[in-house]
Structure 1
Amino acid sequence: MSAIKTWNFGIIGCGTVADFHIAAINQIEGARLAAVSSRNADKARAIAEWEQCDWTSDYKTLIGRSDIDIVCLTTSSGSHARIGLDVLNAGKHLIVEKPIAMNSADAALLVRTAKERGVKLSVISQRRFEAQHQAVKRVLEEGALGKLLLAEVSLPFYRSQAYYDSADWRGTLAEDGGALMNQGIHSIDLLLWFAGEARTVFGQVATQTHVMEAEDLGLAIIQFKSGAFGTIMASTSIQPGFPASLHLYGEKGTIKLEGTSIVHWTVPGRDEPKWIHSGAYGGVSDPRSIAADLHQSQLIDVLTAIETGVEPLVTGEDGLRAVQLVEMIYASAAQGVRLTVGGSGQPDPR
């Protein structure tokens, strides 16, 4: 019997998010944390000593190592495109935290480079791996809801001013994004996964309760290529903060999700999956209050994709579509018109 291959991981970025990746790697058979990198040498050294791995303050040293197979990129959002491109050009598989990039042009470049280099690219969208979302996806693929009519996303989160003041990049459009690009991107990914690609968008954004550049409230009306409609509300101003919800209305029934729970299930011929329990829902008012088990599921999925040659459940293209939709919401809000997603940026004539 052949031995299990050991996959050597490197992590670039030693902030809070890296902790979830480290915990996930440590729980995967055949995975090993080989090295970490941070501009803050003290942080990198401390993690390396605890994890008994190597460290560097220069990420290019990490990606130049021949023993690193996969890189988890957990730096601030605005650096994802620049560092991610270096990782891919070094021939390493890349798992990048959300969002994949801050604009669709950079995201598309990452996707194209991964294909050219023959490596896997996946963006962290770990909520796809929650049991209730997996069950809903199966129902939609089987057509049990019939024609999808409307999909509603609501993300009434809360972040304090101190959260945005904790780093100079927080709340900036170039480095962080607002309620849509930062907090709302997970729900937007699920919306596109369930409803398909967006065709048109009309958006509004506002900064109501925080001193920052980006929005703390984002709203959008979407029409999907299927003909279905969708709505998005994402905020970091709602006290005390509530779990995200996603409601799906089809011609034959309705599914309502809140946090990790199914709160309504009317699906002809399909019993509500009572066995589902995805654990506590986190991140409502504290971005650190999430578990690492879903990161573990996504990392395992990427390893399986590498080993079998298939695409991971969450691809670079998926990350691109989510960023593109947020970008178009911003553009629509700025122009005050409905826009075609992926179009010229001109008003939609319909």
Structure 2
Amino acid sequence: MKIGVVGCGRISKTHFEAINKLSDISIIGCCDIDEEKAKNASLKYSIPFWTTKYEELLKLKEVELVTICTPSGLHPSHGIMAAGYDKNVLTEKPMAVKLSDADKLINACNENNVKLYVVFQNRLNPTIQLVKKAIEEGRFGKIYMLVANVFWTRPQEYYDLADWRGTWKYDGGAFCNQASHYVDLIQWLGGPVEAVYAKTETLARRIEAEDTGIAILKFKSGAIASLNVTMLTYPQNLEGSILIIGERGTVRVGGIAANEILYWRFSQYHPMDDEVNSVATNPKSVYGFGHMDYYKNLINTIKQGKTQAVDGIEGRRSLEIIEAIYISSQQQRLVLL
């Protein structure tokens, strides 16, 4: 599969490295409005074509899929343009900063008969896969509570690197940008959410959006959850974790990227219990190792019709919750989904 990448900033490195480790996929073009970034990416990762003009990338007939690594607020417009050139679309999370823009992207891909996917690679963490399997096997019984913690640090210098960071138009805050993976995981594991109540604050960073917040979710199943998020953890990233408490089991997945099973107890033994100590990974960053597995999954989905990757409708679910979090905090009320 031939790929074109738009956006050669911070997250693109993870995509370039993941793709270069796979034999049946290659990057044939990259694009960035910053000529130096596009050129350097081309040289470093042996990409044959680079440009500062997005449409030049889209005009390459060989490109089957466009990977979007631009600021979040630009994901919809860049995806819609790619769909207009009959390219499949893979967008980094979140797929948009506004639900209405996400819907425009979904509609554009449907109208042009191309596929749309959203990068939520943490679903493929071996730890998370084992928890999902336990849920599907009914081992928890009735799930009562879920807790997600994202205690990371983003200093002011991080936001000052680009003027779009921390803005409502292009980025959003801690929930929309950094914690969107955990919003996705908590709804993927817990099921449909029916109501949200939240409080967000900008406590220390000089940005428009929030650097800290807490959200309470009510699930249709009756379970409740809390999401606790801050980018102010001293002195470095502390944890990205998920806790699930059910009538017959309790599990906590932690580490900096939900990469370790810290607690695993169920009322009855199951062979999967023997896998607990073997699924931990040791990532160097909060991105984890999931991008390579995500691309493998994506190839199987597009080329062979196998395991379904996270499509536009799935990617939309977490964004709906994030938008409800912001509405709830701004209007100080419960928001029904």
TM-score range, shorter chain: over 0.9
Instruction: Provide the residue aligned with 2:311 in structure 1.
Output: 315
Q: Which residue of the partner structure matches residue 344 of structure 1?
A: none
The corresponding residue for 1:24 is 18
- 2:326 paired with 1:330: yes
Identity %: 31
1:77 matches 2:72: yes
1:63: Cα distance to partner?
1.1
Deviation at 1:311, TM superposition (A): 6.4
- Match of residue 245, structure 2, among 246, 249, 267: 249
Q: Kindly indicate whether residue 257 of structure 2 is the aligned counterpart of residue 258 of structure 1.
A: no
Give matches, 1:1-350, under 5 Å.
Answer: 7-50=1-44, 51-240=46-235, 241-259=237-255, 260-267=259-266, 268-270=268-270, 271=273, 273-280=276-283, 282-283=285-286, 290=287, 293-309=289-305, 312-341=308-337
After superposition, the CA RMSD in angstroms is: 1.4
Offset of 1:280 from its aligned partner? 2.7
Q: Distance in 2 between the 1:311 and 1:87 partners? A: 24
Aligned 8 A contact 1:243 1:281 in 2: no
Distance in 2 (CA, whole Å) between partners of 1:16 and 1:237 is 20
**For each residue in 1:1-38, what CA deviation from the matched residue of structure 2 results, as whole angstroms up to 9, or x when unmatched?**
xxxxxx11100011121111111111112111111111
User: Using the alignment, how far apart are the partners of 2:15 and 2:100 within structure 1?
Assistant: 27
2:11 aligned counterpart, secondary structure: helix
Q: Please tell me whether the aligned partners of residues 88 and 113 of structure 1 are also in contact (alpha carbons under 8 angstroms).
A: yes
118-127 or 243-252: bigger deviation: 118-127
Render the CA deviation track for 1:232-268: whole Å, top value 9, x for unaligned: 1111012123111110011111001112111111123
Q: Can you give the 5+ residue segments of structure 2 that lack an aligned partner in the other structure?
A: none
Q: Match of 1:239, as an amino acid? A: Y
Post-superposition shift, 1:323?
1.0
1:345 aligns to what?
A: none
- The letter for the 2-side match of 1:249 is I
Residue 310 and residue 114 in structure 1: after superposition, are their counterparts in 2 closer, same or farther (change >3 A)? farther
Query: TM-score, length-normalised on structure 1?
Result: 0.90
- C-alpha distance in 2 between matches for 1:53 and 1:234: 41
Cα distance in 2, alignment partners of residues 282 and 105 from structure 1: 32
Answer with 114-123 or 222-231: which moved more. Answer: 114-123
Question: 2:321 and 2:297 mapped to 1: Cα distance?
Answer: 25
- Aligned AA (2:188): W
SS at match of 2:199: strand
Question: Which deviates further from its counterpart, 43-52 or 13-22?
Answer: 43-52
Aligned partners of 2:197 and 2:328 also within 8 Å: yes
Report the Cα distance in structure 1 between the residues aligned to 2:65 and 2:336, rounded to whole angstroms. 36
The letter for the 2-side match of 1:266 is R
Q: Is the 8 A contact 1:122 1:312 kept in 2?
A: no
SS in 2 for 1:183: coil
Report the Cα distance in structure 1 between the residues aligned to 2:40 and 2:158, rounded to whole angstroms: 24
Shift of 1:190: 0.6
Contact kept, 8 Å, 1:152 with 1:231, in 2: the verdict is yes
Report deviation, 1:310: 5.0
> CA separation in 2, counterparts of 1:313 and 1:264?
28
The aligned length equals 328
